[in-house]
Amino acid sequence: MVAAETRTKVLEVNDLSISYGPKTAMSGLSLDVYENEIFGIIGPANSGKTSFLRAINRMDAFDSQMNVNGSLRFMGTEVSAWRNDYALRRQIGVVFPLPVGLPMSIYDNVAFAAKLRGVKGKAALDEVVERCLTRAALWDEVKDRLDSLGSQLSGGQQQRLTIARALSQEPTLLMLDEFSIAVDPVTTMRIEDVLKELKKEMTILLVTNLVQQAERLADRTALFLNGSLIEIGYTDALFEGQTQDQRTKDYLEGRFG
C-alpha cells in the first residue's frame, strides 16, 4: 500500500472520454496504473474496456469515427503528444480476444515486430524468436515447424503465439483484452503463469470477463460499467468484500442483472 505512491506511473488517466460518432463509449475516466503491476479491468460487455485499450495505443488514428478527449499519459507523456505514434505502439503489446495469428509463418509472426524495430541479421532475429516463444510457453510445441503458417495452429497455441509476438516488441506495457475467450482452461492456466512471471519486467493491463481471473492475477482491479469507472481497489480487499459501491459487490459475487 505504501509502495504505491513511490512507484513510477506507467499510465495516468484524467477525465478521459471516448466516443464513436454520437455514441459515448467512456466518460470521466481517471485512474493511474503503476509499474510492474497487473491491473485488472472487469465489467460486462459494452462497458468501455476495449475502447480504453484502443485509446491507449492511439487506435483512434486509424478510426475516423473514434474520438478521444481528456488526458491520457503513457510514461509521463500525453499519448496524443508522442511525436511518433509508431514508436508509442511499439512499446505497448496487445493481445486480442480472438487470437490473431497473422497469415505468415510462425517465425515471421514473432520476428515481425523486431524487423519493424530495425533488428537485422538472421542470428539476432533467431534469438528474438526463440526467446519470445519460450517465454510464451510455446517454443517446445513449434520449434520444429517455425516455417508453417501461424494461422494453422490451434486456438490456444495461436493465442500464445500472439503473446510471443507482443513480447517480441519488448513492451513496457502489455495489454490483454479478454485473452482467454477462445482458449481452453489448461492453456489459460499456462498463460496466467506466464503473466505472473512477466509482471516482474513489465506492466500488464488485463481486461477480463472472468471475475476469478482478475482475482487470481490482478494486484488492483477496476470495475467499468456502461462507460464509466465504478470503483478501483486492491483485488484482495475487493474480493474480501471491502467495496465502496454496492454494484461492485454485486458484480464480484455474480449477482448482477
Residue with smaller CB distance to other proteins, 135 or 165: 165
Is 94 among the residues that bind other proteins (CB under 8 A)? yes
d(CA 139, CA 223): 35
Is 10 among the residues that bind other proteins (CB under 8 A)? no
Is 59 among the residues that bind other proteins (CB under 8 A)? yes
Which region among 94-102, 136-144, 181-189, 242-250 touches other proteins (by CB under 8 A)? 94-102
* Cell 520476428 belongs to residue: 111
**What ranges in 93-154 are assigned the alpha helix state H?**
106-117, 122-135, 139-142
d(CA 200, CA 220): 15
Residue with smaller CB distance to other proteins, 30 or 77: 77
d(CA 101, CA 159): 8
Q: Out of 20, 78, 87, 193, point to the residue binding other proteins (CB under 8 A).
A: 87
3-state secondary structure of 233: strand
Is 116 among the residues that bind other proteins (CB under 8 A)? yes
| Positions in 156-175 near other proteins (CB under 8 A) | 162, 165-166, 169
Residue 208 C-beta: closest distance to other proteins, Å: 18
d(CA 134, CA 153): 16
Residue with smaller CB distance to other proteins, 89 or 220: 89
Cβ–Cβ under 8 Å, residues 24 and 227: yes
| Positions in 200-229 near other proteins (CB under 8 A) | none
Is 104 among the residues that bind other proteins (CB under 8 A)? yes
Cβ–Cβ under 8 Å, residues 41 and 224: yes
Q: Out of 74, 79, 89, 107, point to the residue binding other proteins (CB under 8 A).
A: 89
* Cell 465502496 belongs to residue: 244
Residue with smaller CB distance to other proteins, 92 or 230: 92
Residue with smaller CB distance to other proteins, 59 or 239: 59
Q: Nearest 5°: CA angle at 24, between 182 and 177?
A: 20
Is 131 among the residues that bind other proteins (CB under 8 A)? no
| Total interface residues for other proteins by CB under 8 A | 29
Is 138 among the residues that bind other proteins (CB under 8 A)? no
d(CA 34, CA 163): 21
Query: Residue 46 corresponds to which amino acid?
Result: N
114, 220, 234 from 170: Cα distances, Å: 9, 23, 27
Which positions touch other proteins (CB under 8 A)?
57, 59, 62, 64, 86-90, 92, 94, 96, 98, 100-104, 112-113, 116-117, 149, 151-152, 162, 165-166, 169
